[in-house]
């Protein structure tokens, strides 16, 4: 690396040393011997990242659906008494009651319509089932999100290291020294 540090600022030299250290760690961790090995490792990391993303998308979709189901069920049970009282009234009393409780009645109506649409013919709200599923899903989802963040960071680092390795090998090859083939040792 020192041959490439001529004319660099102190900050650039530190960044270059940091990159060299990260490269050494990466090479040791994945037992990389050639640029082709590094390309294969990066490809494998991309594949793992895509698989994790494919798992996380429906998991997150279900998570948000359950959150909305529970929110609507809460609004339904919270405002059902107000709505029932409103429905018992007639004329001016009903209008006055609506003005006083319009938010609650609107939230109940929205929740009722939502639940009717999403209960798929069931007559009872499966609140505890939703809550239990959400609790389990939250643990799984949070764990997967953490792993995904770690994998994303590792993939980003690996791609940076690979680009820099390709750059160095290209510079060395173009200078007429060493490395005439892609599988030369790193």
pTM above 0.75, yes or no: no
Q: pLDDT value at position 2?
A: 43
- Section 153-162 average pLDDT: 91
Give me the domain span that covers residue 120: 13-162
Residue 137 within a domain: yes
Domain-embedded: residue 185: no
Give me the number of domains the chain comprises. Answer: 1
How far apart (Å, rounded) are the C-alpha atoms in residues 96 and 23? Answer: 73
The answer as to whether 90 is a domain residue is yes
171 within domain boundaries: no
Q: Does residue 133 fall inside a structural domain? A: yes
Torsion, CA 14, CA 15, CA 19, CA 25, rounded to 10 = 50
Asked, for residue 153, whether it belongs to a domain, the answer is yes
Residue 173 in domain: no
Q: Are 174 and 27 in contact (CB under 8 A)?
A: no
Distance CA 121, CA 136 (A): 25
Taking the C-alpha atoms of residue 22 and residue 77, their distance in angstroms, rounded to an integer, is 56
Q: What is the pLDDT of residues 18-77, one digit of tens each?
A: 888 888 888 888 998 888 898 999 999 999 999 999 999 999 999 999 999 999 999 999
Q: Does some domain include residue 55?
A: yes
Alpha helix positions (H), the chain? 10-30, 35-88, 91-118, 127-174
């Amino acid at each position: 690396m020192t041959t490439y540090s001529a004319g660099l600022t102190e900050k650039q030299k530190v960044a270059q040393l940091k990159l060299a250290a990260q490269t050494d760690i990466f090479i040791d961790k994945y037992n990389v011997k050639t640029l082709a090995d590094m390309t294969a490792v990066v490809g494998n990391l991309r594949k793992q990242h895509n698989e994790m993303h494919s798992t996380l998308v429906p998991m997150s979709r279900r998570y948000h659906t359950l959150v909305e189901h529970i929110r609507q069920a809460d609004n339904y049970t919270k405002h059902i008494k107000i709505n029932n009282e409103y429905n018992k009234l007639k004329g001016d009393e009903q209008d006055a009651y609506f003005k006083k409780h319009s938010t609650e009645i609107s939230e109940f109506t929205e929740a009722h319509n939502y639940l009717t649409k999403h209960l798929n013919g069931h007559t009872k709200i499966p609140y505890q089932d939703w809550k239990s599923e959400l609790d389990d899903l939250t643990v799984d989802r949070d764990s997967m999100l953490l792993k995904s963040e770690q994998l994303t960071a590792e993939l980003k680092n690996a791609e940076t290291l690979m680009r820099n390795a390709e750059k160095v090998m290209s510079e060395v090859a173009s200078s007429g020294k060493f490395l005439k083939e892609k599988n030369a040792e790193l």
